[in-house]
Structure 1
Amino acid sequence: MFISILSIIIVLIILGALFINLSPEFGGTISDSQKEQFSKSEHYENGVFENLGGVTMSMGFNDYLKGLRGFFGPQPNARPKGAVPVVSVDSMELAKYKGPARMVWFGHSTFLFQADSRNILIDPMLGPVPAPHPFLGGKRFSEELPISIQELPSIDFVLLSHDHYDHLDYGSILKLKDKVQMFFTPLGVGAHLVEWGVAEDRIKEMDWWDETSFGGFSIKCVPAQHFSGRGLTDRGKTLWSGWVIQKDGANVFFSGDSGYGSHFSKIGDKYGPFDFAMLECGQYNKLWHEIHMMPEETAQAGVDVKAKVIMPIHWGAFKLAMHPWTDPVVRVSDKAKELNLPIVTPKIGEFIYLAEPTSDDEAWWTRVD
């Protein structure tokens, strides 16, 4: 019996090692020349990137055990019981659009931004499961997307905030790469794209506070308080970030994944006020509050960046924490009201026009359960 159990364990370890080393989903690796380049960054130490002030997720072994028990234990209302509504988007209307700046949300942190007849994709995770294999993650809350990848128009550029599976999806990149002109990523993330067949001259990596332009848009890479990694040994090897996008007076902020910190005030002082801010709000827990904001912190971050209107993101599509699936939007809405901060909470697929961001169906989530 002992030999049989040991044999099974050895086989599982071998299969796991083969999966990690041979599966393309894990992406590329950082070369020695890249490490030398990264060493010039102020927040790169001992081969890894660090948060401002050296903030890390301070979970001890007991906290990990507590988190595992919570994740695999009873979690009331962690997923919607009914179908999450999705508004279908017409491919021809998208392709021909020449109107005022607008956004369409795909759930979680994925957006299509249309402005000045340009198309920008932000964190295009358009797959069904945020994991390297379908068996390793929970399925998307909605069966359909507003529009399939194949029906999307040509994309002028893609912004990626970091390399976690719920933001950088192998299958989505494979389907998108031939219709995208340029990819903008934090330092190191481009290695995954190169591994997946994207030409290096179509990738621009940026450090925090770097600025560039493309197609008439001004693009700024800004700090976030998070971490990175797709495998067991690459934590912190690539950078994470938020983004500022500016065009003809329109000023937009995308937080990426981030815990609450002083960087929001710094971003607001340097680039604010913002017409529209997409702020992380979901998949949080007190055990990892350093790297994911609580909903009340999300609203405060909106004040810090001097946003005229905020939209909570990182919710409504996947279960990656133990809280009820509607908890993020309910709590952030209450706090935004308390702070007198305008907030918009559209359905997936609903257009948001930056000149007047509103939702046709406020509190739509109350009719899903």
Structure 2
Amino acid sequence: MKHKAITLILASTLLSACQTANNIEVIAGENTITPLHQDGERKGRYHNLYPGKKTYPTTCETNCYPPSPKLLCEKESENCQFIDDQKPVNLNTGFTVRWLGHAGFMVRTPNGQHVLFDPVKEQFDSPVDLAFRLASGFYRQPGDWLTPNELKNLSTVIYSHIHYDHFNKADIEELGNKPRYLTPLGMADNFPTGGFNISEMAWYAKTNISDLAIHALPAHHFSSRVMVPFIYEDNDKDLWNGWLLEQNGKTLFFAGDTGYSKHFTDIQQKYGDIDICLMPIASYYSEESATWYRYVHTTPEDALNASQDLNCKVMIPWGYGNSSWKMGDHTSHSALLRLLHMVDEMNAKTPLYILNEGESISL
């Protein structure tokens, strides 16, 4: 039995050694930002552009989650479907957006490329997956997923950061090594080996997939990928990005996980008004540490203000939903209830389009 075990270990080692190495490039340099601490105990770790104490333009204080006839729920703000008739949004961008759930989007560009943002098919990578289930008793409902045709024609997979709810190694093998993978700086070493083509990009770096321009942009967040939450052996060793797609003069912005900061205004000043904004509205609430949660996640009112900073022609929210993890949320749809409430309270001018998981819209 001992010899058999040694043989299996050797076979596994040889198999790993025979796997095709990943092709990794780093896109940085002139006119980009690599936000690294230069000295002190945080030397070599990434940081946000606008750290420090935050003030927010708008904050809902009371009655933030009134019920809405626009949501049909199995129980109070839980397991819901958005059922309201929505005004058509005719921007003629050529982009088609399908929401897979949580932060996952499949985007078809005007010229036919298929771009995937932050795909996570089920819950977390093992063993964190099992630990989370045992500790909390909660297991995320799977969201929507790619069709066989989408998998076959996938051009690009883009990740915003390495947190488990945005990046699942198990999914990468299914997505395969045909598409090009775009990530923040430092993230490639989290990939399995298998001949994957990975481009790590600094803030404001640009690359092209045919005639599709892809810009890596700042976000206000953090990174860690550890066995025990909030014990940060690897805290901030990998960067966190937002992303901008640009084709035929039309733009689509994916914010990634982010808190509200001046980086939204910076983006608008550099790239002009944005056509389509995919904006997070959840994971901001915690009885233990509400200030910290909001520091790195946008509330619904923060997302509305950010969309105004960006001059978005339409905002599509994400983070809530039946396939969300409800981390820092009251319920699956409490964030959407708050958004619907604050749109009226703020008299927000940015048009909204609300999706249920699996739904799509051509803009």
TM-score normalised to the size of structure 2? 0.70
2:185 is the counterpart of 1:197: no
**Aligned residue number for residue 167 of structure 1:** 166
Q: Which residue of 2 aligns with 1:302?
A: 307
Decide which of 327, 332, 344 is 1:320's aligned counterpart: 327
Q: Displacement, 1:141?
A: 4.8
> How far does residue 146 in structure 1 lie from its aligned partner after superposition?
4.7
- Whether 1:253 aligns to 2:253 is yes
Which whole-Å deviations, capped at 9, do the CAs of 1:34-93 have from their partners, x for residues lacking one? 9xx9xx955101020001133489xxxxxxxxxxxxxxxxxxx999654769xxxxxxxx
Superimposed CA distance per residue, residues 97-117 of structure 1 (whole angstroms, 9 cap, x where no aligned partner): xx9420110010101111222
Q: Which has the higher strand share?
A: 2
Q: What is the TM-score when the length of structure 1 is the normalising length? A: 0.69
Corresponding position: 1:333 with 2:337: no
Identity %: 27
Q: What residue in structure 1 maps to residue 18 of structure 2?
A: none
Distance 1:227 1:79 in 2: 32
Q: 2:35 aligns with which of 43, 53, 60?
A: 43
User: Are 1:137 and 2:136 counterparts?
Assistant: no
Match for 1:345: what amino acid?
I
**Following the alignment from structure 1 to structure 2, what is the Cα–Cα distance between the partners of residues 165 and 124?**
11
* Residues 262 and 192 of structure 1: CA distance in aligned 2, closer, same or farther (over 3 Å): same
In structure 2, the CA distance between the partners of 1:132 and 1:254, relative to structure 1 (3 Å rule), is farther
Given that 1:126 and 1:149 are in contact with CA atoms closer than 8 Å, whether structure 2 keeps it comes out as no
Q: CA deviation at 1:227?
A: 0.3
The answer to whether the Cα contact below 8 Å between 1:84 and 1:142 also exists between their aligned partners in 2 is no
Q: Distance in 1 between matches of 2:168 and 2:81?
A: 22
> In the superposition, relative to structure 1, how do residues 171 and 270 fare at CA in structure 2: closer, same or farther (>3 Å)?
same
Provide structure 2 residue ranges, at least 5 long, that are not aligned to the other structure: 1-25, 38-42, 55-73, 83-92, 227-231
Give RMSD over aligned pairs: 2.9
Q: Which has the higher helix share?
A: 1
Structure 1 residue 229: deviation in Å? 1.2
Maintained 8 Å contact 1:78/1:322: no
2:220/2:296 contact within 8 Å kept? yes
Question: Aligned with 2:215: secondary structure?
Answer: strand
Q: Is the 8 A contact 2:182 2:201 kept in 1?
A: yes
Aligned residue pair count: 282
Query: Which residue number corresponds to residue 50 of structure 2?
Result: 53
CA contact (8 A) 2:34 2:203 kept: no
| Inter-partner Cα distance in structure 2 for 1:197 and 1:56 | 41
Match of 1:114 in 2: 108
Task: Give, in whole Å, the separation in 2 of the partners of 1:314 and 1:167.
Answer: 11
Aligned counterparts, 1:1-369, within 5 A: 42-45=34-37, 46-55=43-52, 81-82=78-79, 100-115=94-109, 116-129=111-124, 132-137=127-132, 141-143=140-142, 145-147=144-146, 152-178=151-177, 180-193=178-191, 196-199=192-195, 202-231=197-226, 232-285=232-285, 286-288=290-292, 289-316=294-321, 317-337=324-344, 338-354=347-363
User: Structure 1's 287 and 82: CA in aligned 2 closer, same or farther, altered over 3 A?
Assistant: same
Q: CA deviation at 1:225?
A: 0.4
Distance 1:326 1:243, change over 3 A: same
**CA deviation map 1:193-250 (0-9, x unaligned):** 2xx02436x1111111111211211111111000001024100000001000011122
More off after superposition, 326-335 vs 42-51: 326-335
